Amino acid sequence: MLPLICHEDEHLLVVNKPPGWSTHAPAPYAGEGVYDWLRHREPRWANLAIVHRLDKDTSGLLVFGKTPLANRALTAQFTRREVRKEYRLATRAPVRFQRLEVRTGLRRAGERYVVAPAGAGTEPAITRFEVLEVSGGLTWLRAVPVTGRTHQIRVHAAARGFPILGDTRYGGEPAARLWLHAQRLAFRHPASGAEVQFHAPGDFTDDPARLLREAIFDPAETDTWRLLHGAGELADDFRAADNAPDFCVDRFGPYLLAQSAGPPGRTQLAYLHREVERYGLRGAYHKTLRREVRGCGGAAASPQLLFGEPAPAAFTVRENGVAYEIRFGEGYSVGLFLDQRDNRRRLLVNHVAAGFPLFPAGPAGAEVLNTFAYTCGFSVCAARAGARVTSVDLSRKYLDWGRRNFALNGLEPASHEFLTGDVFDWLRRFAKRGRQFDLVLLDPPTFSTAKGGTVFSAERDYGRLVRAALPVVKPGGVLFASTNAAELAPEKFLKLIHAALGEWGRRVLQHHYAPQPPDYPVVRAVPAHLKTLWLRLE
């Protein structure tokens, strides 16, 4: 059970949405909203339906319908205003009432909403406010929206002179998050007709980035994720203090690994100390981000200990119940790319997306080709699911590392193939022999250099890679194409792939575009770096 889930039955899924996560994806190539992420995560959630929404920065209770009966019943209750919703909010402005009902119209003005006279083409908006307490310079209020218009509570609070703390769009004082939380939800169950009520207290003082992570990870299954994702999550004061919009922090089991172009500043070090103490970790390391990573290796490129206990030469982390070996002393890369977590999980559970099983007949006996295998993270998950995996990489050292990952998970490496050499050479050999696979994984580095000096560039050569791979994908098989090349826009990436498909006359039967996972949030100023596409081919 994911921590954000409050209730699930045959008809309903109720979640406690953390702040900073949209209800649904705001654009085709932005990060997934909580609805999209859940819907594509489990087959039993494939038919989830949105019956109401919360703003991205508002936290709290959301109910999704799982069946047509639930969708109809809940929609009718929301339409008739029979669903009772209660929010908690705080403001620093003085409040001179005990109870207040606000009735206005609302209209859009750019990216904001403003009050307008009721009628004259505007939908009515009604919110009831009640003061709960005053303490620490804050006034706490209950808000009950009788109607459910976009930004309704925020606009009404601002219009009556008490903008919500953190709501700078509507005149509120700056804060790490919007201090608005949907804490109660009550309605009639769509099947039984009995009233059901849910309550989820809000946490306004904790770091919103941490709240997001703690909502989506089961600590018994996963102890490695991105804790802080650069400019997408750094508060203005944090960013300005050390002038580091690129500062990112990953957790790898008992250690934190920070990365930025320069050494950590005072504010960053204080943050790392707090997180190490909070999670009971052993220490923190730092990796210097480099524009040019080709040729980076050895101690000079490896993460450096900032404080705490030095990490052993190799230690183990868990991700979705799978063990991986991590090494901080092997150069620029430490053994696992965390932004591919959700894609690795798709192999584990044989489920790409709603209505898209990876192997319709099951993974047992399926043949999988993992190119640019690195330390074989994808390979381990495919093998755990029951497939037979062929892993190809230029580096024998990394393939040996992959074998150790197999052994860590009770898998016999000898039952699978590990092939050293250039991916293009091996694809030509497979095609010449007529060997085909049920799944071909393409996840090349942005740049790589073969022993003969040939340089692969994802931006320039991805189409050529797809063309080389298509002959070895079985009819009805799946091609996974992925890149983290920031310069390669999603539209161009997809164009390269579909051009290659057209040259070979391979028709797409199913497709799913998967952005980077929620712990790598996408913001307008920092577009998604990871682009992945799953394709079932005729």
3-state helix/strand/coil string of 266-324? HHHHHHHHHHHHHHCCCEEEEEECCCCCCCCCHHHHCCEEEEECCCCCCEEEEECCEEE
**pLDDT over threshold 90, residue 460:** no
CA-nearest of 384, 345, 380 to 41 is 345
The proportion of the chain whose per-residue pLDDT surpasses 90, expressed as a percent, equals 84
Q: 158 pLDDT band (50/70/90 cuts)?
A: very high
pLDDT at 450 over 80: no
Q: Output the pTM of the full model.
A: 0.93
Each residue's pLDDT tens digit, 341-378: 999 999 999 999 999 999 999 999 999 999 999 999 99
What would the two tokens of residue 61 be? 């209770």
> Where in the chain are all domains bearing CATH 3.40.50.150?
337-537
- Mean pLDDT value across the chain: 93
Alpha-carbon gap, residue 50 to 113, rounded angstroms: 22
CATH 3.30.750 region(s) of the chain?
A: 217-312
Q: What is the pLDDT of residue 117?
A: 87
CATH 3.30.2350.10 domain range(s) in the chain? 5-199
The average pLDDT across 450-465 equals 80
pLDDT in tens, 221-268: 999 999 999 877 776 656 556 666 789 999 999 999 999 999 999 999
Listed as own residue / partner, the contacts of 47-55 with beta carbons closer than 8 Å and 24 or more positions apart are 47/354, 48/13, 50/23, 50/24, 51/75, 51/78, 52/78, 52/83, 52/148, 53/23, 53/24, 54/17, 54/23, 54/182, 55/150, 55/151, 55/154, 55/178, 55/180
- Calpha distance 166→177 (Å, rounded): 5
113 has a pLDDT exceeding 80: yes
Q: Are 137 and 150 in contact (CB under 8 A)?
A: no
- Name the nearest CA neighbour of 153 among 132, 172, 175: 172
**pLDDT at 134 exceeding the cut of 90:** yes
User: Do 247 and 234 form a contact (C-beta atoms < 8 A)?
Assistant: yes
Whether 461 is catalytic is no
Spatial separation of the C-alpha atoms in residues 14 and 8, rounded to whole Å: 6
> Bigger pLDDT: 124 or 100?
100
Q: Can you tell me the mean pLDDT for 304-331? A: 97
299 has a pLDDT exceeding 80:
no
Architecture of domain 5-199: 2-Layer Sandwich (3.30)
- CA dihedral 247→273→224→408, nearest 10 degrees, is 130
Closest CA to 36 of 513, 420, 500: 513
pLDDT score of 145: 97
Poorest-pLDDT segment among 12-21, 260-269, 432-441: 260-269
Counting Cα atoms < 13 Å in the Cβ hemisphere of 364 gives: 1
The pLDDT score that the predictor gives to residue 297 is 55
Domain 217-312, CATH 3.30.750 — does that match?
Answer: yes
Burial of 329 (0-12, 13-18, 19+ CB in 10 A): middle
The residue annotated as part of the active site, out of 55, 339, 443, 519, is 55
pLDDT band at 528 (very low <50, low <70, confident <90, very high): confident
> What average pLDDT does this structure show over 384-397?
97
Predicted pLDDT of residue 447: 77
Q: Residues 177-197: what's their mean pLDDT?
A: 97
Q: How confident is the model at residue 290 (pLDDT cuts 50, 70, 90)?
A: confident
The answer to whether the CB of 380 falls within 8 A of the CB of 410 is no
> What pLDDT is stored for residue 27 in this prediction?
87
CB contact at 8 A, 322 and 384: yes
- The whole-number pLDDT of residue 243 equals 63
Of 104-113, 292-301, 399-408, 457-466, the range with the lowest mean pLDDT is 292-301
**Per-residue pLDDT at 452:** 66
Q: Looking at the domain covering 337-537, what would its CATH class be?
A: alpha beta
Question: β-strands 59-65, 49-50: how paired?
Answer: antiparallel
Residue 62 has pLDDT above 90, yes or no: yes
